[in-house]
Amino acid sequence: MKRRKNIGLIAHDACKKDMTEWAVFNARRLAHHRLVCTGTTGSLIQKVFAEKYPGLEVELIRLKSGPLGGDQQMGALIAEGRLDILIFFTDPMTMQPHDVDIKALIRLSTIANIVVACTRSTADFIISSELFDGDYESIPPDHQAYISRPV
């Protein structure tokens, strides 16, 4: 993992306010990294950054809305090794029609051994870690036993 991280940001509808507040609070640290957001979350973060920090240059890439394919796009980035951290503020109190996509993202993140936060508290711990702004060499998981075992 390089010093400049690729950070995925996703928030369910009930958590979008939390995500934008978190992103604004951490804007100066996030600006050193590349942000990849699902559609609506990305729009909200882009808007609030422009309002609160007009001169701050932030590389922000917007994918499709989560239920319209953005979750799969984010999953593809994880599977290709192009995402280092996933901050996904989930709403555990509301049924999500794309629940299988959400579970797949968490599963892919675990398989790829990337950093994942599903709550604001966890995201706070991650961004305040001394490892956040530096190079980091994670230990790649060994899935060879699963690949070579007979069906």
> How far is the C-alpha of 7 from the C-alpha of 24, rounded, in Å?
15
Query: Annotated catalytic, 71?
Result: yes
Q: Match 């280092």 to its residue by tokens.
A: 84
Are 77 and 36 contacting, i.e. CB atoms less than 8 angstroms apart?
Answer: yes
CA torsion sign for 24, 90, 88, 128 is positive
Report DSSP state, residue 2: -
- The catalytic residue among 71, 84, 124, 133 is 71
Residue of 13, 30, 29, 3 lying closest to 98 (CA atoms)? 13
**Any alpha helices (H) in 3-89, and if so which ranges?**
16-25, 27-30, 39-52, 70-79
Residues that are catalytic: 71
